[in-house]
Structure formats: structure tokens, C-alpha cells
């Protein structure tokens, strides 16, 4: 039976982190099924789902400290169950761009939660606007709008909410 282990690792960005982590997992007999990696500030962040037999995952988990010293990583592991189907609903994608200010992610996700909308994926980015250098913020979210929610009404009220918050929004059905 295949089991699953989620591993999160974070450390100062430098070459060789992915190589070291992936080699360690491979050498233990594990398989990287899913992963996401990014540089946040000066830190490299890795999240990966490793699959394998129970003994393989125990071996991986018990030896993760071997990655902390040479690579300077903080590592966390957690056993997990197979992914359940995403919540039912109409799949939509939200793209928001605004002048950067605190609270955008909270305000938008609070609005979505109050309307029973499930956030399935979320990514953000900050950047300087061309020509002016104004700090900008981009928020991309994949959601599932429950079947009991009137999509036309949700779209109207969400657009109104974004207008009130001075957020430029694009809400469209995912394919």
C-alpha cells in the first residue's frame, strides 16, 4: 500500500537545495508525487508530497535532520491521506491587481468564506509598476463556487466588493 508524507523545507536560498532534497528522497526509495518551490524574500521554500511504502516514508522522516546541517534547512514532515476530490462547485479563477497595502488577502478570503466559497489554490506576488515604481500586488485564486450560490449574484456582489476595496478584479470560469 502506498503512503504519503508532506515535507516542507525552508532555508537561505542557495544552489543545490532541490538536488540535495530530491537525492535524499530517491536514495531512501521515495517518490516525489507533487511539489511547489519558491523563493520568498531571501529564503527558498519547498513543499513536496512524497509517496512510498510505510517503511520507506519512516526512513525518510527519521533521517530528515541530515538535511538541516549541510543545507541549513528547517524541515517539517507530516503523514497525510490521499487527496479527496475537490469540493463540488463551479470552478472559477480570480485575478486581482491593486496598489499594495496590508489586508488584501485577508479581506478577499474573508469575503469568499462568508459566501461559502472554497479557496482551492492561492498565489500572490508583489512588484513595482512600470514607469512609476508604485508598489503593486497581484492575487490569483482558484475557487469552487457551491451549486447553491447564484453565480450571477456572486459575480455582481464580488465585483462591487472589489470596487469598494479599489481592487482591479477579473473573475472567470476555469476550464
37 vs 44: CA distance, rounded Å? 7
* Surface-to-core class of residue 142, CB atoms within 10 Å of its CB (0-12 exposed, 13-18 middle, 19+ buried): middle
pLDDT mean over 40-59: 95
Architecture in CATH for domain 90-173 = 2-Layer Sandwich (3.30)
The two domains 3-80 and 90-173 share their CATH topology (first three levels equal):
yes
Asked if pLDDT for residue 86 goes beyond 70, the answer is no
Asked if pLDDT for residue 45 goes beyond 70, the answer is yes
Quick one: which of 50, 1, 2 has its CA closest to 28? 50
- Residue 174 phi/psi, 5-degree rounding, is -85, 155
pLDDT mean over 98-122: 96
Say what the pLDDT of residue 34 is: 94
13 vs 113: CA distance, rounded Å? 34
CATH number of 3-80: 3.30.70.260
Whole-number average pLDDT of the chain: 94
CA distances from 37 to 17, 142, 144 (A): 11, 18, 24
Say what the pLDDT of residue 67 is: 86
pTM over 0.85? The answer is: no
Given a contact cutoff of 8 angstroms between Cβ atoms, the answer to whether 95 and 169 are in contact is yes
- Percent of the chain past pLDDT 70, that is, above it, reads 98
Domain boundaries of the chain, sorted by first residue: 3-80, 90-173
Asked if pLDDT for residue 28 goes beyond 90, the answer is yes
SS3 state at 22:
helix
Amino acid at each position: 500500500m502506498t503512503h504519503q508524507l508532506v515535507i516542507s523545507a525552508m532555508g537561505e536560498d542557495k544552489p543545490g537545495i532541490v538536488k540535495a532534497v530530491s537525492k535524499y528522497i530517491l536514495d531512501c526509495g521515495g517518490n516525489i508525487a507533487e511539489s511547489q518551490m519558491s523563493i520568498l524574500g531571501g529564503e527558498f521554500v519547498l513543499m513536496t508530497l512524497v509517496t512510498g511504502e510505510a517503511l520507506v516514508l519512516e526512513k525518510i522522516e527519521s533521517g530528515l535532520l541530515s538535511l538541516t546541517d549541510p543545507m541549513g534547512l528547517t524541515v517539517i514532515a507530516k503523514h497525510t491521506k490521499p487527496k479527496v476530490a475537490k469540493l463540488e462547485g463551479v470552478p472559477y479563477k480570480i485575478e486581482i491587481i491593486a496598489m499594495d497595502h496590508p489586508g488584501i488577502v485577508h479581506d478577499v478570503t474573508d469575503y469568499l468564506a462568508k459566501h461559502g466559497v472554497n479557496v482551492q489554490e492561492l498565489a500572490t506576488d508583489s512588484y513595482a509598476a512600470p514607469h512609476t515604481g508604485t508598489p503593486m500586488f497581484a492575487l490569483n485564486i482558484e475557487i469552487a463556487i457551491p451549486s447553491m450560490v447564484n453565480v450571477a449574484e456572486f459575480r455582481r456582489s464580488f465585483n462591487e466588493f472589489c470596487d469598494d476595496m479599489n481592487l482591479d478584479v477579473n473573475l472567470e470560469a476555469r476550464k
